[in-house]
Structure 1
Amino acid sequence: MKIATRLKLGSLLCAVVVALVGAILLSTTTQVRRELNKNQSADEILNAVTALRYLSLEYGLRSEQRVFAQWRLRSASLAVLLASDSTFSGADDAARIASLRDSFASVGRLFSLLVATRAQPADEVRDELASRLTGQISGKTQTMIADAMHLSERSRQGVLASQQREIGAVAAFGAIVLATIVAGSLLTLRSLVRPLERLHEGTRKVGAGDLDFKLGWHGRDELGELASAFDSMTDALKQSTVSRLDLSAANQALQAEIAERELAERKVRSQLARLSLLQQITRSVGERQDMRSIFQVVIRSLEEQLPVDFCCICLYRKGSAALEVSCVGLRSAALAEEFAMREHARIEVGQNGLSRCVAGELVYEPDVVDVPFPFPQRLAGGGLRALVMAPLLVESTVFGVLVTARLAPSSFSSGECEFLRQLSEHVALAANQTELYGALQRAYEDLRQSQKTAVQQERLRALGQMASGIAHDINNAISPVALYTESLLETEPGLSGKARACLEVIKRAIDDVAATVARMREFYRQREPQVHLARVDANRLMQEVADLTRARWSDMPQQRGIVIALRCNFEARLPPLQGIESEIREALTNLVFNAVDAMPEGGTLTLGTRSMPASGAVAAEVWLEVGDSGVGMDEDTRRRCLEPFFTTKGERGTGLGLAMVYGMVERHGARIDIESARARGTTMRLAFPLPAEVAGAAPPQAPARRSAPLRILTVDDDPLVQKALRTVLESDGHQVSAADGGQAGIEQFRAALHGGVPYALVITDLGMPHVDGRRVAAAVKTMAPLTPVILLTGWGQRIATEDDLPADVNLVLSKPPKLHELREALAACVPDGDTDHAGTS
């Protein structure tokens, strides 16, 4: 019989046995459950009868309505239990139930009589009757309790009997199942295990090469068929199998080929990993435009992914004798400290065998212990053995070296050396591109600055031209004031001290205005070398600035309820400085105005002077300081505040105040220092160098020479200037005639010449409509070549320095003219004794 058939029959038998056992267990379980139900019902009846007996006795004693209600409830539940016919079975159980029902009916009737008796008036007869009824009820309930206990005992015995039958059935069928299992195991041992052990033995022997082994049994089951097939297989193998030596040789060849392919595969994987790393590094490097960040990316990638134990990049300048360490890896920092190869350290090329590398050759040292140079020996002292140095080469020029090292000797493969060579080429190219990009950025920035400078120069040139255009009108406006002021100071000795002081301030202000107009062209011209620097008392000058600007820092803020306090810190016995007083005064005035603007809520304005002695190469200096406690400047504003047209005041500012201050400082060879911080105020310091030897006090100015009384013709289209000139000249004793305009002046000069009373000197304005001062001078020289001509103009300095002096003009005076300059000009043009010949031809 087949093994599969036997297993199926065994399975079927087991299923039948299991089903039979299940049916018997189900039957016994049902019987046990039924007996348990009977036991439960008997217990409930017993409990109900007991409660009913107790309630009857209690009612017989106290006749309470509560007890009556409870008795009725218990009676109803007991009636339900006794009415059920399905729980109990058998003749004895039926008789007991019938007895219980009869007794229950009697108890009900007796309890009703008891209730009726208790309802009658109390007397001895009623009490006696109630006592008897209570006794009868107790007797009946006692009988019922006995019947209920009998039912409970019978049900308990039934439960025990059912459980015993169930245990017996389980034990019997358990023995049957155990016998079946034992029989099946013996059958399996006989028909399966022994043949399989024989088959295992045959397989082992045939695998060992014993092809003559035979199992030697043939059955009709599957194992018999398998044994026959196994013997057939051994016969076939005996006929087709080669010798064991040939098989061993073939196996060894196959193993060698497998090992070779695995080695090639590892090499390919390693090469792919290096290519991927190279691509990753190249992509990361390409995203950066800073050489240091490029080096950091390369070193970090090599330390983490190649990996190496030490890595750094050194820079090399062609023709230099040393490398400079530019960047060291984070993991290599400790070794770098040990090797004294921290950043910016120098490594000599010639003494360390690096000449091949800086010549463009990749250098690989399998074991640096065998290399006698100091640099490899330094690495070997830190435990490093294998070293690769790849040059960073761009256009046949080495600008750096990539240094990598490992702890194990001969630990760099040829593929890794080639990878480092390729990586160095990419790094060199990226670094070169970064350099080119930086050069391009710098060139672009230079171009932008050049364009910006050109635009500013053009704006300054235009500003200078506009300033020159209006200088004539400004000078014409202040010329009468200047002449009258000097004349009053000189000719009116009876002036009060206050009036004379006011006139002195007016004169000084006019001089400053004139100097300001003359300096407008300084925005686009350098200072002329002939500008004279005079001694300046810095303390007096600072006090004058405080007085001139009082309205700005005191009166005007007080109108808005703002208080600005002035603090003066002047050093006593301050040495005089060399400079142009009007320019320095104007610069300090500008600084005071800026300081006041920086304190919109009020504060403290500080003016100070002090001297600084010479220190080493720094010469002695005088410091003039203007400070405020205002809003201050940030770093960007502090850096740009001296640029022309840069302002933080919006439309209120022109951006020229500090630019003019800076121009004055440059012209004086001084410097300006700015100390400022946000919300902490600003201090502007002008540092003027002192000469090595301070000369003595300047000699007092000699009074201007006065010429003899002259017959003078003045030509001007401005009546106020005409009147002022005429007044001051006549006060000196001259005879003055005025002509309104150039053509009128020429005609008046011709008429006087033909009339025999020529003019000894002609003073003409330069800028006049139709006929200007040059044409007037030319006409005068044509008619009377010896007659001096003085040109009076607001562009006098420009004419003297930029243009050639007109051929027909003897002298040029700037407006507003100073009285002593006018007298000096008259004396220079018409010396004493020449008045008779001045107007002759």
Structure 2
Amino acid sequence: MKISTRLTLAGLSSVVVVALILAVLASSTLQMRRELARNEDAGEVLSGVTALRYLLLEYVLRHEERTAAQWQLRSDSLGALLAAPTEFAGTDDERVITGLRASHQGVAHLFELLSHNHDELRRDKSKAEVLEELESRLAGQITNKTQAMITAALRLSERSREGVAQAQQRANAALLGAGAVVLLFVGLTALITLRSVIRPLARLREGTRIVGAGNLDFVVGLASRDEIGELARAFDSMTARLRQTTVSRDELGRSNDALHAEVAVRQQAEQKVHAQVGRLNLLHQITRSVGERLDLRSIFQVVIRSLEDQLPVDFCCICLYDQAQNLLVVTSVGLRSEALAQEFSMTEHSQVAIDENGLSQCVRGHLVYEADIADAPFPFPRRLARGNLRALVMAPLLAESTVFGVLVAARHAAASFSSGECEFLRQLSEHVGLAANQAQLYGALQRAYDDIRQTQQSVMQQERLRALGQMASGIAHDINNAISPVALYTESLLETEPELSRRTRDCLGIIKRAIDDVAATVARMREFYRQREPQLSLLPVDANQLVRQVVDLTRARWSDMPLQRGIVITLALELAAELPPVMGIEGEIREALTNLIFNGVDAMPDGGTLTLRTRLAPAPAGTASLPHVAIEVADSGVGMSEATRRRCLEPFFTTKGERGTGLGLAMVYGMTERHGASIEIDTALHKGTTLRLNFLAQGAGADGAAAPSNYQIPANLRILVVDDDPMVLKSLRDILEIDGHEVVAADGGQAGIDHFNRAIDAGAGYSVVITDLGMPYIDGRKVASAIKQRAPHTPVILLTGWGQRLVSDGDNPMYVDCVLSKPPKLRELREGLCKVLRSAATVA
């Protein structure tokens, strides 16, 4: 067989082998591209779902129309993405996509319900509780669905990454298989060539050498019938005519050069394929590393370290883009790049101005490659050139199509970045941008969670205070009923018994003040959650007299009880003379001073000195020249640390363990707020504590006390008193009879109505009816209604433990002419009688 025939067959075989190899490589490349496309689609789906979740949380927190519109736009974009044809062709992937579409439709419907619910909540506040609960449930359902969608999108992304890895493995396997086939084909060709071509050619080469050396008598002597045999015979005949001819070697040299050039091209192509595979592996490793991190700085450090070690580059950093100031801020610099960064001032937190150079193109979203920056006219390339850097690549970091940073990579050699490396940096910047966006979203979610938790704690604290106030309001009626007889009899004894001894009168005065304090304390307990009510008026209070009263009231606590334990507490009074009165409520200030004395005693477990001091204080800063009266309670006890001093006024904060409630100083602070006063605390560990209350003096901008109104005590009235408490009923009857009235007592609402009806039928009505509010079966409102139906002009006074609350809340019952609080005071009772009688006379 001729060599040409053999070569033709070998060529055809080579073509077939090369075609198969190219087909396999093309198939592997197409598969890899499809898997990359799947990965990009999965990333877009994940980004869309994450954005929906973030916008939902922002809408639930702020309920802004702009957030709702953004959510709708993102939802429409995600719906279009899910509805568009994708590269997810597997049964499982199609099932996940179908589930995402269904979940997306459900989330859109739930968000629409949430939006409508918020609109209805704004229109109808009466349904706030139901609508807020519905809003919470809708938000929870949307959160769960979006979380499920994120999980499904992550599953798609993970599968796409696995597909990329598998496609890469298949490409590597195809490449190895192609190499093996080529090696096998080359081996067979070499063997055939060795036997049929090389050996005869070696004989010819030897003949050529010999003939070239001048031995023209050499005969090759090949008897084969192929081209080499013919060549050998031609060679033999050539030697005979060699003297008359000249051999040309130029053509042989050109063929040899062409062969070497082809070999070099093939080697370069092979190197490019290996480099591309290596870059894909590096991109996969970096993507996995940054995907496992949620800290932005950690993500940047991983990227820079990987580029320095494995690309490699001589300088690498990441800058964040400040759009408002149009500059870059260096955020992360590579470990190997720190020396260069110091040299041209590119350390962390450095600022880089953006002018009309490559940076301006980069922040617009374009990758910029400068092959040689040695002669660049712009400031930023010149700065890098000071470190002998020549080649520069700047890749934008994008999040939702917005540039938020720039990845800078440079090398010392000019034009040292290939097109494949530039493409690799572009793809890497996209992955880094996505990871950074996820890290920022995670941080935002974490901050939102912390804000929600803090708000929840504040609401719980407020609810505890509200519950305490409501509980106090509920028991006020019973306590006031219990102390009403004591208050009435005490005032009556002080008024009607002038022959009482001084000691007895002082004791009764203390009892009267204690009763007033109890009533004020019960009424004020609900003020833990409510500001001072505007109808409360401040009266002049003698601070020195008040301090002496508190000393007498608390003597057992600071003197007798410590002495039983062998502890001596010395009380010192330093009261300023000619002190102007302060404007306030005497009972509240007395209770506050009592709490301060108790705290001072508790702070001196081993005894010490307790000092009560009053003085005219200079005007605090910001109050012009208004004088203040300072009341100080100082102890020589254990004192407080700075941390305790900052928190001591908080409700329920105590350092006494189970012995303390944490309400003493909180009540003192509430009193100062209601009085427009201030509280100062001077303390140090082991050096005692001084608490100073600064009150505005009378005539220094405070409203003066209203002059006591003059009234004439009416006499000879026929009064019906209705109450279900026999002690209150008896005390009212006795007090009114002392004033000269005829009193008929009824122990219940129905009994009172019956007494009144019988009197009306007998033609002997009542001048005034005094009735309690809270009574079983028939309360005070029903009694007043029944009386007004029979005798519309008969005045009705409602006497109740909730009197102050009814007045402050505007809940004055119908058919009631006057509301008085329990425990009643003689002056208030008499003024009430005069008031309703004058009103009745005016109407008549």
With the shorter chain as reference, the TM-score category is 0.5 to 0.7
The equivalent of 2:400 in structure 1 is 395
Alignment of 1:501-540 (within 5 A): 501-533=506-538
Paired with 1:594 and 1:738, the residues of 2 have a C-alpha distance of 46
Paired with 1:411 and 1:784, the residues of 2 have a C-alpha distance of 109
Alignment of 1:435-834 (within 5 A): 435-493=440-498, 499-533=504-538, 548-552=553-557, 555-561=560-566, 580-587=585-592, 589-590=594-595, 593=598, 615=621, 629-630=637-638, 652-654=659-661, 656-657=663-664, 660=667, 663-664=670-671, 667=674, 694-695=700-701, 698=704, 701-702=707-708, 705-709=711-715, 710-831=717-838
Q: Mean alpha-carbon deviation: is it higher for 777-786 or for 369-378? A: 369-378
The equivalent of 2:291 in structure 1 is 286
Alignment of 1:198-597 (within 5 A): 271=276, 274-275=279-280, 277-299=282-304, 301-302=306-307, 311-316=316-321, 321-327=326-332, 347-349=352-354, 354-368=359-373, 370-380=375-385, 385-406=390-411, 409-493=414-498, 499-533=504-538, 548-552=553-557, 555-561=560-566, 580-587=585-592, 589-590=594-595, 593=598
**8 Å contact kept, 2:320–2:406:** yes
Paired with 2:318 and 2:625, the residues of 1 have a C-alpha distance of 46
**Which residue identity does 1:827 align to in structure 2?**
C
Structure 1 unaligned blocks of 5 or more: 1-205, 215-234
Partner SS state of residue 838, structure 2: coil
Partner SS state of residue 510, structure 1: helix
1:434–1:687 distance in 2 versus 1, CA, 3 Å: farther
**8 Å contact kept, 1:286–1:430:** yes
**8 Å contact kept, 1:566–1:604:** yes
**Could you give the per-residue CA deviations for residues 84-111 of structure 1, whole angstroms, max 9, x where no partner exists?**
xxxxxxxxxxxxxxxxxxxxxxxxxxxx
Give the superposition deviation at 1:566: 6.7
**Which residue identity does 1:288 align to in structure 2?**
R
Give the superposition deviation at 1:300: 5.0
What RMSD in Å do the two structures reach over aligned CA positions? 5.1
**Could you give the per-residue CA deviations for residues 14-34 of structure 1, whole angstroms, max 9, x where no partner exists?**
xxxxxxxxxxxxxxxxxxxxx
Give the superposition deviation at 1:511: 2.5
Paired with 1:286 and 1:691, the residues of 2 have a C-alpha distance of 68
The equivalent of 1:54 in structure 2 is none
Give the superposition deviation at 1:294: 3.4
Partner SS state of residue 813, structure 2: coil
**8 Å contact kept, 1:478–1:816:** yes
**Could you give the per-residue CA deviations for residues 176-213 of structure 1, whole angstroms, max 9, x where no partner exists?**
xxxxxxxxxxxxxxxxxxxxxxxxxxxxxx99x97699
Query: How many residues align structurally?
Result: 605
Paired with 1:448 and 1:249, the residues of 2 have a C-alpha distance of 82
**Which residue identity does 2:488 align to in structure 1?**
L
Paired with 1:692 and 1:252, the residues of 2 have a C-alpha distance of 115
1:414–1:669 distance in 2 versus 1, CA, 3 Å: farther
Give the superposition deviation at 1:723: 3.2
**Could you give the per-residue CA deviations for residues 701-726 of structure 1, whole angstroms, max 9, x where no partner exists?**
42652332133222222232233333
**Which residue identity does 2:713 align to in structure 1?**
S
**Could you give the per-residue CA deviations for residues 474-500 of structure 1, whole angstroms, max 9, x where no partner exists?**
111122232333334444455555555
**8 Å contact kept, 1:577–1:688:** no
**Could you give the per-residue CA deviations for residues 150-188 of structure 1, whole angstroms, max 9, x where no partner exists?**
xxxxxxxxxxxxxxxxxxxxxxxxxxxxxxxxxxxxxxx
Paired with 1:414 and 1:554, the residues of 2 have a C-alpha distance of 93
1:584–1:349 distance in 2 versus 1, CA, 3 Å: farther
Paired with 2:525 and 2:519, the residues of 1 have a C-alpha distance of 10
Alignment of 1:47-126 (within 5 A): none
Q: Mean alpha-carbon deviation: is it higher for 680-689 or for 815-824? A: 680-689
TM-score by length of 2: 0.59
Paired with 1:310 and 1:673, the residues of 2 have a C-alpha distance of 60
Paired with 2:379 and 2:727, the residues of 1 have a C-alpha distance of 93
Paired with 1:588 and 1:706, the residues of 2 have a C-alpha distance of 37
Give the superposition deviation at 1:793: 0.6
**Which residue identity does 2:827 align to in structure 1?**
H
Give the superposition deviation at 1:760: 1.5
Partner SS state of residue 831, structure 1: helix
**8 Å contact kept, 1:535–1:576:** yes
Paired with 1:248 and 1:685, the residues of 2 have a C-alpha distance of 109
Give the superposition deviation at 1:731: 3.9
Partner SS state of residue 830, structure 1: helix
**Could you give the per-residue CA deviations for residues 397-449 of structure 1, whole angstroms, max 9, x where no partner exists?**
22333344555554544444334333332332222222222332333344444
**8 Å contact kept, 1:619–1:689:** no
Paired with 2:692 and 2:604, the residues of 1 have a C-alpha distance of 21
**Could you give the per-residue CA deviations for residues 735-785 of structure 1, whole angstroms, max 9, x where no partner exists?**
433322222322333344444443221211111222221122122222322
Partner SS state of residue 369, structure 2: strand
**Which residue identity does 2:476 align to in structure 1?**
A
Paired with 1:310 and 1:374, the residues of 2 have a C-alpha distance of 17
Paired with 2:259 and 2:697, the residues of 1 have a C-alpha distance of 100
1:292–1:213 distance in 2 versus 1, CA, 3 Å: closer
Partner SS state of residue 726, structure 1: helix
Give the superposition deviation at 1:315: 3.3
**Could you give the per-residue CA deviations for residues 662-714 of structure 1, whole angstroms, max 9, x where no partner exists?**
6556656677788999x768969688796999237935742652332133222
Give the superposition deviation at 1:828: 1.1
Paired with 1:314 and 1:273, the residues of 2 have a C-alpha distance of 26
1:632–1:332 distance in 2 versus 1, CA, 3 Å: farther
**Which residue identity does 2:818 align to in structure 1?**
L
**8 Å contact kept, 1:670–1:689:** yes
1:779–1:446 distance in 2 versus 1, CA, 3 Å: same
The equivalent of 1:129 in structure 2 is none
1:250–1:729 distance in 2 versus 1, CA, 3 Å: farther
1:508–1:414 distance in 2 versus 1, CA, 3 Å: farther
**Which residue identity does 2:746 align to in structure 1?**
A
Paired with 2:623 and 2:414, the residues of 1 have a C-alpha distance of 58
Paired with 2:256 and 2:638, the residues of 1 have a C-alpha distance of 96
Q: Mean alpha-carbon deviation: is it higher for 701-710 or for 773-782? A: 701-710
1:455–1:360 distance in 2 versus 1, CA, 3 Å: same
1:813–1:697 distance in 2 versus 1, CA, 3 Å: closer
